[in-house]
Chain A
Amino acid sequence: METGKHGGTNKSKGVISSTWVPVYLSTFSRPFLWLFPLAFLIIFFFFPLSRIFALSLDTSALTSENLRIAYSALRFTFYQAVLSTLLTLLLGLPAAYLFARYEFRGKSLLRALTAVPFMLPTVVVAAGFNALFGPRGLIHAVFPASFPFVGTLWAILIAHVFYNTTIIIRVIGNALSSLDPKLEQAARSLGADPRRVWWNVTLPLLRPSLFAASLLVFLFDFTSFGVILLLGGPQFSTLEVEIYFRVLRLPDLSLAALLSVIQLICTLVFSVSYTRVAARTTVQTAPRSAGSSIRKPKTLRERMFVGVFVFLLASFFLLPLSALPFRSLFRLEADRGQRNEIQYGFTTGYYRELFVNRRGSVFYVPPIRAAINSIGYAGATVMLSLLLGFPAALALARPTRVEKILDPLVMLPLGSSAVMLGLGFIISYGAWLTSPLLVPFAHTLVALPFVIRTLQPAIASVPERLHQAAASLGASPLQVWKTIDWPILRRSTLAAATFAFTISLGEFGATLLISRPEYPTIPVAIERFLSQPGGLNYGQAMAMATLLMVLTVASILLIEKFRLPGAGEF
């Protein structure tokens, strides 16, 4: 046998034992894996967070007037979140039942459709609802007598349902289809009619999953920002919206800080209880043997239920998503000077207008610059989050005891609201706000947990034995990386990159607070167009939002293609 790099067969046998690790995971290099990600988090997350805390405890923050504002914002946040969650359950539960129990044509397509809104930027969803239900929307145009529904609490609630129904469908659907069908059959043979089977057997068994799913939906509704700002308007001030107002409209940073801390504590409590409840839900599933409970609808009632619900879900999810591109290509306004005569017809004018730098418009630059900015920011975010996320994921894939403690710290930005991140940047690095460089840093903060959670399982899935085998065959550490790890990790890296790209493109809350007026991103531009009067501004908002939707959907498809099966669930 040839003597290899490790100096002889005997010696290499000693080296390639269970303690052998690739050189990048040696005790010596591990701190270097952590150095930059941790430094980044400290500078851009923990330090700003501490500044917010300090400011919220300031005597100027804790006035009785401020506490009254905070209380009413908190109350309304709860109120709308509870209502939204209940409405989501109302649609989600039958939908979950439909998907878990019945076979019908177009099922996988419909399921995919219900999941699309969850991945879309809030501005796109808001614009979609606006295109359908807004005062300049399609329904109002067809039925001028109808009440424009944008600007009411209902718009917020329905948009939340639109967003989060997929959570109920997924969580409850999974729980339902993993239930042992014999339990329901046993109940039937003991004399329970279908209704009582549902109430006495199925529902109690679903209770933990139901609780977990509701809590998750509630959490998303509680921290919702874009939907409430764009569809509700100033009178619906949740904690998030109130923070935004106290930063940009009626500046009072110490009140904003106080609101942020309240928000953070609430989300932390809900997140922790969600994690605890979710951990318990895995217990009650029984092993299934005899057949599956999925079947074609048979009786008239079943067929009616399936038909009605498929139609309902399809139109609920399809209409806002298709109203948006339609409205962006459809003129529906009175010409200048002719107030009564409504012009309509197909037009590409809204898109052409994006390239024009009109005097007196909301920008100092042609609006299409926003798209260029967005893509530039997104590119920078991809680079930065991969650069920071890859080493962290490497370390976390095979963590030491200390690193296990670091894991939740890295995920913490996920639980804090975007508006709060923006506030932290303003308080801590206000002097740099003139620079557009701050935006990619904020986006990286949001994207980093996703990047790490995508890469980590992929890296962990490469068996140590492969490294050891390659090394024993004479591959240097670099060659091991090039020939073993990279070919396996390439797809996940692409998925992580696309995640970062998509998140950066759609990021709204933080960007709205820290972006310079002359460097708008697509979501910020949409918000500004929507908040201005005039049919042209409205049309351009639609065009921009359509652009963003197309970009995002393309990215989602890419992620789905590259993602490891089973990795990166909720």
Chain B
Amino acid sequence: MLEVRDISKTYEGKPLLENISFTVGVGETICLLGESGSGKSTLLRIIAGLEEPEAGQVLWDRLDLASTPPHLRDFGLVFQDYALFPHLDVYDNVAFGLKMRRMPQDEISRRVANSMELVNLGGFERRKTTELSGGEQQRVALARALAPRPRLLMFDEPLGALDRALREDLLNELRAILHQTNIPAIYVTHDQEEAFTIADRILILHDGDIVREGSPAEVWANPGSAWVAKFLGLGNVIEGKVIGTHKVQTEFGDFPVKCAHKHQNGDVVHLLARPLPAGKARAVTVRSSRNEVNDIRGIVTDVIFQQDRFKVTFDNGLYIYLDEAPKVGKRVSAKVKVECLA
């Protein structure tokens, strides 16, 4: 299994990665989620051996890979823009890794056929890569990485260049393939939907650090910090001050939240006010702007249609979800689920 230990790297004098450590277990798919420029691709390239860390180690089965060149690491890599070899046809692209391992011809053709079957591209063997659509090219790239059956697969924003519908389809196929082959994988993306769909475990990268790590459900339930909550778009993040065991004072009113187990009176904390699912939420017209219960209120300034619900934004920047569109200009209030962030 893979272990990344205390990896550090600077970019143009600024720290890009600082003491990054994590492991990838047998058959596990982990996802590095972060904004563009957060260093996640660099981390991937360090693991692949294409770049060198300034400090730290990459280990496989407790063996340091520092002196192992990329071609001997046996880690497959799939790029965002596919990086298919333009001078080779589909078959030779997929066979490339097998030829590098000097496998016998019949074994190569068997494995290529196998991989092509896996990505649903049977019959495309003699096509030119330039004749393929974006989705087909990405399938070839995947088949090429799968064919040598690497001990680890790495994906660098593999679906970034594709349109939404295709992305969902491919993501589901990829999930199935990863489960079927049981190859451990690292998936890098900035798209949280992709991350939550494919990952067994999510690592959120921010300012060179892993700021949150856990299963999708854990991360969703407990984002742990204001930044993560905002980045994942889990709800309204509100700053406040602890004024009692069950009370936090904010500019939007006082909320009955228990922050006391972590914080003293007077501490500044962040609250996460998650809007309830549209079906459960109900807006009530109100007069005052202050509250002492788990609801938020304001004057409706914007209503956005989102397939199965309306996102309603207030003049104070907070938002909720509703089944029916309220009138702009109305002063309304709606229940939210408030929790204390770290």
Contacts and interface: CB of A to CB of B under 8 A. Distances in A.
A191 interface: yes
A284 B86 contact: yes
A196 B69 CA distance: 13
B83 A191 contact: no
Contacts of A193: 69, 71-72
Nearest to B70: A188
A180 B83 contact: yes
A191 B72 contact: yes
A414 interface: no
B76 A189 contact: yes
Nearest to B86: A284
Contacts of B99: 200
A189 B87 contact: no
Contacts of B74: 191
A183 B77 CA distance: 11
B97 A190 contact: yes
Given A190-B96, A193-B71, A196-B100, A182 B148 contact: no
A192 B83 contact: no
B50 A185 contact: yes
A190 B145 contact: yes
A185 B85 contact: no
Interface string A14-44: 0000000000000000000000000000000
A340 interface: no
B77 A284 contact: no
A183 B129 CA distance: 13
Interface in A193-241: 193-194, 196-197, 200-201, 204-205, 207
B31 interface: no
A192 B101 CA distance: 8
Contacts of A67: none
A286 interface: yes
A287 B81 contact: yes
A462 interface: no
A290 B41 contact: yes
Contact of B100 (A180, A190, A286): A190
B83 A188 contact: no
A338 interface: no
B310 interface: no
Interface in B32-53: 41, 45, 48-50, 52
Contacts of B71: 187-194, 196-197
A59 interface: no
Contacts of B87: 204-205, 207, 284
Contacts of A185: 45, 48, 50, 70, 77, 79, 83
Given A188-B50, A191-B97, A183 B75 contact: no
A183 B83 contact: yes
A186 B101 CA distance: 15
Contact of B148 (A180, A187, A191, A298): A191
B270 interface: no
Interface string B85-117: 111000000001101110000000000000000
A207 B144 CA distance: 23
Nearest to B154: A189
A488 B74 CA distance: 59
Given A200-B96, A201-B85, A186 B79 contact: yes
A333 to B, nearest CB: 58
A212 to B, nearest CB: 16
B312 to A, nearest CB: 39
A467 B70 CA distance: 59
A525 B145 CA distance: 67
Interface string B132-158: 000000000000110010000010000
A327 B295 CA distance: 94
A189 B86 contact: no
B50 A187 contact: no
Contacts of B145: 189-190
A190 B85 CA distance: 12
B51 to A, nearest CB: 9
A193 B48 CA distance: 14
A10 interface: no
Contacts of A188: 48-50, 69-71
Contact of A182 (B49, B81, B144): B81
A282 interface: no
Given A189-B75, A189-B76, A183 B85 contact: yes
Contacts of A189: 48, 50, 70-71, 73, 75-77, 145, 154
Nearest to A290: B41
B125 to A, nearest CB: 17
A201 B87 CA distance: 8
A10 B73 CA distance: 76
A182 B96 contact: no
Contacts of A289: 80-81
Interface string B210-243: 0000000000000000000000000000000000
A47 B72 CA distance: 67
Interface in B255-301: none
B50 A190 contact: no
Nearest to B147: A190
A58 to B, nearest CB: 51
3 nearest CB pairs, A to B: A190-B97, A189-B77, A182-B83
Interface of B: 41, 45, 48-50, 52, 69-77, 79-81, 83, 85-87, 96-97, 99-101, 144-145, 148, 154
Given A187-B96, A190-B145, 9 more contacts: A186-B144, A190-B97, A192-B71, A193-B69, A196-B100, A284-B86, A289-B80, A289-B81, A298-B52
8 contacts: A187-B100, A188-B48, A188-B70, A189-B70, A191-B74, A205-B86, A286-B86, A289-B81
